[in-house]
Amino acid sequence: MAKIAFLFPGQGSQQPGMGADLLRDPELADLCRRCSDAANVDLRRLLVEADDEELRLTQNAQPALLFVGVGLAMMLGRRGLDPAAAAGHSVGEYTALCAGGAMSPEAAVQAVVQRGIAMAEAVPAGTTSMVAVLGLAPEAVEAALVGVPDVWPANYNTPTQVVVGGTMLGLDRATTRLQEAGAKRVLPLNVSAAFHTPLVESAGSFLRGALEVVPWTLPQIPVVANLTAEPYSDPDTIAITLERQLSSPVRWGDGVRKLTELGCDTFLEVGPKRALTGMMRELAPGAFAAAVGTPQAVAEVAVPVH
């Protein structure tokens, strides 16, 4: 049998209307109402009516993405496609923990709403951002950034893709240095701040209060953390790990390699778009990978039988 890992995307994968089809499912519509009440947010409007500009805001994108991931994971479970392990990119780690049973969907939405508010308030809007650097090894990216103020590696995604975050001025200078170092492309990302850098470190104390009240339990499956690229082994460490994740680089490539070490050979990206699926050719060349972003995709995905 295939050993399936669920991968949950982070901010940047959101798109308008991404939850409309999900909410036609009565069970998920009811869950949406409960999550909205718990977090005091109108999830249905964000999932169905919000435009791209509104969804780009951190405090809106994060709960909406989490709910889509949780809903699709529930639908996959109805098909008998249950994960043997899971990981999520940035805010997607909360979705992975929820799918793994470490917290309820209601608690997860509450946590990411507070995370989004904390991150939005950490830096003034429009003053920081992120870019994806394609075609340079991580070591070359780090070398190119030496001496460039207020810019840091934020996501180590693959051996040839690193995301960099910083101030707008810093990113302008970094882009020139990275192009001179041989980067094939330096692409601005659809995010509202420099996540996973010291620029959002002040959000940690705000987020800590929200995370400490969650009744964490040990996930029922291995959930690999962005911070350590290792599975959680103690529920008492989840809150502090997620707090530190906020301003530390995401070690995504190492995390996927850990999933392959755990025996996973089938990877389903559970959420809108296919940002994580596109990385799998580099990270796990022999594995099966597919994006499952809609109820129709849930119905149609064909997992190989080994």
306 is catalytic: no
Tell me if 306 is assigned to some domain: no
pLDDT at 4: 97
**Which residues, in sequence order, are bridge partners of residue 87?**
7, 224
Question: Are residues 112 and 245 both part of a single domain?
Answer: yes
Tell me if 193 is assigned to some domain: no
pLDDT at 176: 97
Residue 114, C-beta contacts closer than 8 angstroms, at least 6 positions apart = 206, 207, 209, 210
Tell me if 66 is assigned to some domain: yes
Task: Report how far residue 247's alpha carbon sits from residue 226's, in angstroms, rounded to the nearest whole number.
Answer: 11
Range of the domain at 167: 128-188
Tell me if 149 is assigned to some domain: yes
**Which residues, in sequence order, are bridge partners of residue 6?**
86, 268
Domain boundary among 170, 188, 206: 188
Among 90, 192, 247, 248, the active-site one is 90
Task: Quickly tell me which residue has 């082994």 as its tokens.
Answer: 233
Handedness of CA 132, 260, 85, 47 (dihedral sign): positive
Positions in the chain whose pLDDT score sits under 70: 306
Task: Output DSSP code: residue 105.
Answer: H
Structural domains counted in the chain: 2
Question: Are residues 63 and 34 both part of a single domain?
Answer: yes
Question: Are residues 215 and 114 both part of a single domain?
Answer: yes
Among 36, 196, 247, 248, the active-site one is 196
**H-helix or E-strand containing 171?**
helix 168-180
90 is catalytic: yes
Residue 242, C-beta contacts closer than 8 angstroms, at least 6 positions apart = 93, 94, 207, 211
pLDDT at 116: 87
pLDDT at 185: 97
Residue 289, C-beta contacts closer than 8 angstroms, at least 6 positions apart = 266, 267, 268, 269, 277, 280, 281
Question: Are residues 182 and 65 both part of a single domain?
Answer: no
Structure tokens belonging to residue 277: 């699926």
pTM (2 d.p.): 0.95
